[in-house]
Structure 1
């Protein structure tokens, strides 16, 4: 079998509902790597809350974070590493205008920092529960352009906020709306998405598009599911994403849907 690039999303895909990798999933992914395939995590998560999974899988390939804005090999200086950002002025503008717009919490981050305007416990990890003085999002602490911003907003004002962001900064950023119960907006550098990260991996390893298999479940996976030669959507994925899929796993993320599919697809059993 030709060498495959296997691009795996984390939440709702590789991880179960307790945000853990099952021993079976880990075993299958390691088997795929041992068979010579390139297994790479491609996630919306920041590196600070995904390197633990990278270390647990113990497959030394590059990881893509921030939905395609960062490509790197954790714990290493790598000459091919890339990072995409947008102007920090946008973050500071949004902090200044947050009450007026209906934004409750603002966080901005990149590879080496994470800042938020206030601590909270709404979504553990994504927003910090405690903040040191140098972790508060303000003009003093925000010295470098961010790769991503995450905002909790007023549910009723969400459509207006999206319109305002697109009108004011649409040439510099892409606005994403999270699925799930919390009204969360995510800002990325314009033109950056998971497909960009997967394309970078394919070029790095000289793998043809037809040999890329990608697994995902949510709206931010759409570009990579569409881009891959074989886009597989989880049983628990959104209907919209399933409409882009080449195939859908028989089992969901709680029942090792990715691993069962991959073991069969690559004939690893």
Structure 2
């Protein structure tokens, strides 16, 4: 029934230690061997998501930057890309500077920070990507950004999110990806829109898609999929809209979902087909 699975990374596919269990890797590879399209849908930059895709044996287009970019490994051109306009990008850089909130930006699949802060260093280490220090983020903003990420305490970001939503309204997509991460992308750049774009390119109906996630930025992903699955560790808002709640990211929740909705139905179909063939042979003998 399901031909495609789109899986979030942090808090979903990855454990709290940022690893993927061997059992989950095996389940994903089995699903791929059955012809299921398995892809990643993450807020991370493409170069970071690509490393994990290679580990899993995924060679289909990846949904990255919160849905702002869809790109296939080995291809220079993105299949889909939506960037934050230069006008909004410059305003956001000014707000971060005036309010002394850490901001890092993404352009041409490069991570930039205005200074080499602890937050920038820790982030780059966690997602295993290099970074560049560019004091003149305002200058970079003239080309627009694929994504902007504010990092601070949850209460600070809660106020900032409300402020940005009032300022930009429908001109930007503003959402939390972690309790201390607030991300800004193009208004058409969310995981749900990107998922439906990719599915359409592959000739897959939304009813044939599974979306799996855990945080606020995964809500559109679950809504767009025919079957929206929330992890056991998901925020309540995501659980409330999910069709099914799996185990946590530290308890092979992705493997459990794949087993239940892909592998077990496939095995049942094979067994049923084998039983029918056996019955036909029996009738021929009679």
Instruction: Answer yes or no: same fold by TM over 0.5.
Output: yes
TM-score computed with the length of structure 2 as normaliser: 0.82
1:225 aligns with 222
2:184 aligns with 187
Report the more deviating stretch, 213-222 or 159-168: 159-168
Pairwise mapping of residues 175-254 of structure 1 onto structure 2 (< 5 A)?
A: 175-180=174-179, 182=180, 184-249=181-246, 251-254=247-250
SS in 1 for 2:210: strand
Go from structure 1 to structure 2 and tell me whether the alpha carbon gap of 1:229 and 1:116 turns closer, same or farther (over 3 Å shift). Answer: same
1:69–1:147 CA contact under 8 A, matched in 2? yes
1:104–1:152 CA contact under 8 A, matched in 2? yes
Structure with larger Rg: 2
SS in 2 for 1:13: coil
In the alignment, structure 1 segments of 5+ residues that lack a partner are none
Alpha-carbon shift at residue 236 of structure 1 (Å): 1.0
1:91 aligns with 89
The count of corresponding residues between Structure 1 and Structure 2 is 262
Go from structure 1 to structure 2 and tell me whether the alpha carbon gap of 1:118 and 1:128 turns closer, same or farther (over 3 Å shift). Answer: farther
TM-score computed with the length of structure 1 as normaliser: 0.87
1:6 aligns with 5
Instruction: Output the CA distance in 2 between the equivalents of 1:130 and 1:225.
Output: 31
Instruction: Output the CA distance in 2 between the equivalents of 1:160 and 1:222.
Output: 21
* 1:5-58 superposed Cα distances (whole Å, 9 cap, x missing partner): 111111111111111111111111111011011001011111132211011111
2:148 aligns with 149
Q: Which protein is richer in helix relative to its size?
A: 2
Instruction: Output the CA distance in 1 between the equivalents of 2:230 and 2:81.
Output: 27
SS in 2 for 1:223: helix
Asked if 1:23 corresponds to 2:19, the answer is: no
Asked if 1:81 corresponds to 2:82, the answer is: no
Report the more deviating stretch, 216-225 or 136-145: 136-145
2:254 aligns with 258
SS in 2 for 1:201: helix
Alpha-carbon shift at residue 145 of structure 1 (Å): 1.6
Instruction: Output the CA distance in 1 between the equivalents of 2:101 and 2:131.
Output: 16
CA RMSD of aligned residues (A): 2.5
Report the more deviating stretch, 224-233 or 86-95: 86-95
Go from structure 1 to structure 2 and tell me whether the alpha carbon gap of 1:15 and 1:163 turns closer, same or farther (over 3 Å shift). Answer: closer
2:87–2:142 CA contact under 8 A, matched in 1? no
Alpha-carbon shift at residue 112 of structure 1 (Å): 2.7
